[in-house]
Structure 1
Amino acid sequence: MSDGASGARKSFGLKLRDLRRDAGLSGREFARATGLHNTKISRIEHGRQYPSEEDIRRWCIACGVARRIDELIAIHREVEQMWKEYRRDLRKGQRHVQERSGELYARTGLLRAYEAIVVPGILQTAGYIRAVLTINAELHDLPLDEVAGAVEARLSRQGLLTRGDGTNNYSFVIEASVLSNWFGGADVMRDQLNFLEAATRLPNVALGLIPPGHRTIWGGECFYIFDDELVRSEMWTGSFRTSQSTDIAFFEQAFERLRSNAVYGDAARQLIATQLENLQTSENP
């Protein structure tokens, strides 16, 4: 399990422990009141075992806080979905993963994204997507013949960005080093860089690049904020998701700090132009 998921479970266990202590119940008294074994209570409170929803109901009633049952069950379900294993998700194929996200992107009025490794998915060109998803298929031992369908599914979301009617708005903060991370050949990167340059001129897009030396906050995991409803961050072996308001507020704060480090407009386009020139030089040394 990821550190994030493990930490969330430990935090939830401490929350339950505090309820028991606030009620003035010892471990043995609490075990008698709930019918839960002492060992299970200890494991739950230390985050080594996750309670069932029925456990939570018993816990709240025994502590005299039945009014908090719905609240704690909602948090419980949130923690359960915070960490999803990639391999479990990818069993249905990369196309399924891409298609499943379509509705989320369509209903999001403002998407804020920070990327330090690759171009954000909705900004990727077909060739770039193909290169990235081929790497992902090879890494996770997935069928390569499914990549084309996944490319099509991801690319289909791009119309939300390019139509520019104000329904879907985007704020991207990207490390400038992403421009020099090659996925695909020179032609693929040229098309991708040209598309990024064009995206800086779209009325519903704010595209910022963080140049070397501009950082005033440490680098962290890449993340996407969908309105004020969901944060998603993909890592090597899983996907962190949360809709807890306190978590979202933290990522919003981090995004604002990162955004303040970025350059926009002509300055961003100059960084892209420089990389296009470097690309040309590498082809014709």
Structure 2
Amino acid sequence: MPTIEDLLIQPGGLADRLRSLREAAGLSGKELAAALNWAASKVSRLEHGKQAPSLADLGAWAAACGAPAAADELSELLSEVRDVHRDWHRRMRAGVAPVQRSYNDLVAQSATVAHFETVYVPGLLQTAAYARRIIGEMVDLHGLAVDDVDAAVAARLERQRHLYDTSKRFTFLLAEPVLHWRLCPPDVTRLQLDRLASAVDLPHVRFGILPFSALLPITPQNSFQLYDSTAVVETITSELVCSEDESAAYGRALDHLWRFAVEGPDALALIAAARR
């Protein structure tokens, strides 16, 4: 199943079109970046599918290349990428294991990974039994005729090896209800809570819980993930890969929420209370 990068760089896709507009205008990457007051690395990332542009980015690019009318075409190409990448049923109908492997690739390519969760335990911290329950729910919900749930669970667990890669940094912030939702039988839930407790002291991992008692500065409306500077939001039906500006907003929200989190012994106490 294609990743967002695959879709951006496919022949005739958005990255190709951006590059062709720049070249037709006779501009180098550095010259275009200077005209837009961007870092040169941003032009490179957009042309190589390493970053999803915002609509404002596309309009500015087209104007700087002397082709403002191309902005609508660029916007349509971006919509096509997002529509294909978001739809869970479309992504999973050939199997759920490839979707899990695409997330493995995303984690492998990222130096920093952050999760804020309001319902589920993050996949990077799930036990096999918990992962099977969550993946099975997606299969049932979307009426999928697939036979690779075992392979999908294995792929999700394989992702966890990155937790021990000292070149990466992970942050996990869970709303306290995540500890209390009874999504699995009691024995599975207890083992999952034990797994969370073991994550509290992992090196290069920051683990926190947003307690019921916290007076929050913002409403934690939904779960989201940050892979370096790109935010990903999962819903029941789709996956949203956010633009640079949208991702920055999620990053700010996460920073605010962390101010009210508990960590270390206090987080362990909440896990222990939920386990009883």
* Structure 1 contact 134–144 (Cα < 8 Å) conserved: no
Helix, strand or coil at the partner of 1:66: coil
**2:149 corresponds to which residue?**
147
Tell me by how many angstroms 1:92 deviates.
1.5
Give the CA RMSD over aligned residues. 2.4
State the Cα deviation string for residues 188-230 of structure 1 (Å, max 9, x = none): 11111111001010011111101113122112121111001x2
Unaligned 5+ runs, structure 2:
1-57
Q: What letter is aligned with 1:274?
A: A
Question: Are 2:87 and 1:91 aligned?
Answer: no
Q: What letter is aligned with 2:260?
A: N
**2:55 corresponds to which residue?**
none
Higher CA-based Rg = 1
**2:186 corresponds to which residue?**
186
Tell me by how many angstroms 1:81 deviates.
2.8
User: How many percent identity over aligned positions?
Assistant: 29
**2:129 corresponds to which residue?**
127
TM (normalized to structure 1)?
0.69
How many angstroms apart in 1 are the aligned matches of 2:127 and 2:240? 25
How many angstroms apart in 2 are the aligned matches of 1:157 and 1:71? 38
Question: Are 2:199 and 1:209 aligned?
Answer: no
**2:138 corresponds to which residue?**
136
How many residue pairs are counted as aligned between the two chains? 214
**1:218 corresponds to which residue?**
219
Question: Are 2:268 and 1:269 aligned?
Answer: yes
**2:228 corresponds to which residue?**
227
Tell me by how many angstroms 1:70 deviates.
8.1
Closer/same/farther in 2, CA of residues 72 and 108 from structure 1, 3 Å limit: farther
After superposing on structure 2, the runs of 4+ consecutive aligned residues of structure 1 that deviate more than 3 Å are 67-80
Question: Are 2:246 and 1:247 aligned?
Answer: yes
Helix, strand or coil at the partner of 1:142: coil
How many angstroms apart in 2 are the aligned matches of 1:141 and 1:198? 35
TM (normalized to structure 2)?
0.71
How many angstroms apart in 2 are the aligned matches of 1:87 and 1:152? 21
Helix, strand or coil at the partner of 2:254: helix
Tell me by how many angstroms 1:122 deviates.
0.9
Unaligned 5+ runs, structure 1:
1-55, 278-285
* Structure 2 contact 95–147 (Cα < 8 Å) conserved: no
Closer/same/farther in 2, CA of residues 71 and 102 from structure 1, 3 Å limit: farther
Q: What letter is aligned with 1:186?
A: P
